[in-house]
Copies of this chain bind each other. A is one copy, B any other.
């Protein structure tokens, strides 16, 4: 059985595409094929740290997910911890399952711990993430948010400093806030979970890995059981002929993703 998964980096740059592909290559199941892409002509090139950027990128993400569905992927990840445009894109994803890191991480954590802290880059992000978690129904799991006071682009710059801060904040979360597990609240906080986990002695959820494996599992269930996004009620998509084609909502000539790296 071959599962085809696309990871959409929710930005225009491809700085980390190869790196993500490599990460996923190392952890995927044998039959899984992965493609990491960026958004072509993305409204924002660099990061989704701001909610306005999230808004700007929503359309790009919807287009990329539509394309992903048409390419026949089994599952797709919207690769940003804000879970941008998740519900919006899921409506247009056809038979492709749509997954996002925040929801996926909390779903893992709910199986491992009763209280979880989220290690975010900046306090700025907290209300947005808190709102998402409340929407998903997982607010009772939150022990605290702890901020590193690093921006999205800082995590990988001075990795030793990042680790130092993560360990300090993680320890505060465990000792003072009652956290039993940690979630790294940005997909670019990659490459740290193992060291943190060994040092702190609690599960540390890398949200990119959690989302990727969630996509793989749901893709597997899709193929085996036919469990695809519901197309009734709120899942009803726009009519193909009467609206999407008639109004040219999606330009057939448009290729909304770019810089694919395969794994």
Contact = CB atoms under 8 A, between A and B. Distances in A.
A88 interface: yes
A30 to B, nearest CB: 7
Interface in A152-179: 174, 178-179
Given A59-B43, A59-B60, A197-B226, A180 B232 contact: yes
A243 interface: yes
A233 interface: yes
A43 B249 contact: yes
A36 interface: no
B249 A225 contact: no
A259 interface: no
A237 B234 CA distance: 32
Contacts of A249: 43-44, 53, 56
A27 B1 CA distance: 11
Q: How many copies does the complex hold?
A: 6
A203 B230 contact: yes
B135 A134 contact: yes
A112 B97 contact: yes
A69 B34 CA distance: 33
A137 B142 CA distance: 12
Chain B CB within 10 Å — which of A87, A98, A178, A232 has the most? A232
A71 interface: no
A234 B180 contact: yes
> Which 9 pairs show the lowest CB-CB distances between chains A and B?
A55-B88, A137-B137, A58-B58, A217-B217, A127-B234, A114-B127, A52-B92, A180-B230, A180-B233
